């Protein structure tokens, strides 16, 4: 454990301007994804947006890593593994996030999403045999308090009367799905040639993720009155969420984590709600409120406390 920490410190000391830029740009793009999803609410249904997003991303990645589709690449021998990753990582998580943005704000969505380490801790303890120490329990309590603050909109009466916004609950489900995805990644059994190539690894997941997203979009067609407002605004949203948050941010984050280590990178990920607050105010006119700051401090405090030995 100490050796791992020493390596983390060593990497942190060697952070280059390029690595820092990548660690900042990725949360910025993820915050932009939340704002873009909010802008898309009157233009396209959420599950169809998710399907188009990953279909375009698939087409972008195809020329970069088409070899992964060959019969001898290892994808098809591990298809169950990639099908599960595609379900929880690109299917459920993003679909629930876009669904959440129909009734919740980008700032609320990113704040709830920043509680991911809490749910990773819970899943690790109950399903993956991870031991939880007292600091992690205290940290979990602080993070839960932060999430509760968001759900209650800073009002205890709203929480006790169960007057909750559906979007916040959808995002809570999305965050748990992402925590499950993260644990699956940590226990990876994929072929090294696929795992070592970020484009190939994402494309392998999208082979199935696009299928899952298509099934969800088909259900949306069958259960709701689907209307799409085709035009330049929607085209701009689709191109941004497909190229920026889906392809570039994923690739840049992977490159930066290799240089900085997961611990340092985890703190940079907490920039996402801050960027979302700024972008929401500038683009949507949705200014942050005092309870947002309280929730952010509680969640970050919970993560910091949980990371203590």
Please identify which residue in the block is written with the tokens 């407002």: 229
Q: b/e map of 53-70 (b: 16 or more CB within 10 Å)? A: bbbbbbebbeebbeebee
Q: How open is the CA angle 289-293-295, to the nearest 5 degrees?
A: 110
Nearest to 32 by CA among 282, 292, 206, 220: 282
CB-CB contact of 19 with 260 (8 Å):
yes
CB-CB contact of 48 with 242 (8 Å):
no
Q: Specify the DSSP class assigned to residue 210.
A: H
Q: What integer pLDDT is reported at residue 264 of this predicted model?
A: 61
Q: What integer pLDDT is reported at residue 12 of this predicted model?
A: 42
CB-CB contact of 286 with 242 (8 Å):
no
Q: What integer pLDDT is reported at residue 266 of this predicted model?
A: 65
Q: What integer pLDDT is reported at residue 267 of this predicted model?
A: 65
Give just the sign of the alpha carbon dihedral 62, 67, 71, 73.
negative
303 to each of 30, 114, 130, 142, 282, how far by Cα in Å?
Answer: 20, 9, 17, 8, 28
264-302, pLDDT tens digit by residue? Answer: 666 677 778 878 888 888 888 877 777 778 877 887 777
Q: What integer pLDDT is reported at residue 11 of this predicted model?
A: 39
Counting as low any pLDDT under 70, the low residues of the chain are 1-15, 150-151, 153-164, 186, 188, 258, 260-267, 303, 306-309
Q: What integer pLDDT is reported at residue 71 of this predicted model?
A: 86
Q: Is the pTM of this model over 0.85?
A: no
Q: What integer pLDDT is reported at residue 53 of this predicted model?
A: 94
């Amino acid at each position: 454990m100490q050796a791992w920490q020493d390596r983390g410190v060593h990497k942190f000391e060697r952070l280059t301007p390029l690595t820092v830029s990548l660690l900042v740009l990725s949360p910025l793009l993820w915050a932009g994804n939340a704002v873009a999803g909010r802008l898309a609410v009157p233009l396209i249904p959420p599950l169809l947006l998710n399907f188009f997003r990953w279909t375009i991303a698939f087409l972008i990645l195809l020329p970069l890593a088409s070899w992964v589709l060959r019969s001898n690449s290892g994808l098809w021998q591990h298809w169950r593994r990639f099908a599960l990753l595609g379900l929880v990582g690109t299917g459920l998580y993003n679909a629930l996030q876009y669904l959440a943005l129909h009734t919740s704000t980008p700032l609320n969505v990113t704040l709830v999403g920043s509680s991911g380490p809490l749910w990773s801790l819970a899943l690790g303890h109950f399903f993956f045999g991870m031991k939880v120490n007292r600091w992690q329990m205290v940290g979990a309590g602080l993070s839960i308090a932060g999430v509760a603050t968001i759900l209650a909109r800073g009002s205890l009466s709203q929480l006790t009367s169960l007057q909750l916004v559906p979007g916040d609950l959808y995002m809570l489900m999305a965050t748990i799905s992402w925590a499950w995805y993260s644990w699956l990644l940590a226990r990876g059994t994929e072929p090294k040639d696929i795992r070592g190539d970020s484009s190939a690894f994402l494309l392998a997941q999208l082979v199935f993720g696009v299928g899952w997203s298509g099934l969800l979009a088909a259900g949306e067609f069958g259960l709701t009155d689907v209307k799409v407002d085709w035009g330049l605004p929607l085209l701009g949203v689709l191109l941004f969420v497909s190229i920026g948050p889906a392809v570039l941010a994923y690739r840049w984050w992977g490159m930066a984590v290799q240089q900085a280590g997961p611990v340092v990178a985890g703190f940079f990920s907490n920039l996402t709600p801050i960027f979302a607050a700024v972008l929401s105010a500038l683009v949507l006119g949705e200014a942050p409120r005092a309870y947002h700051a309280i929730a952010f401090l509680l969640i970050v405090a919970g993560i910091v406390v949980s990371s203590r030995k």
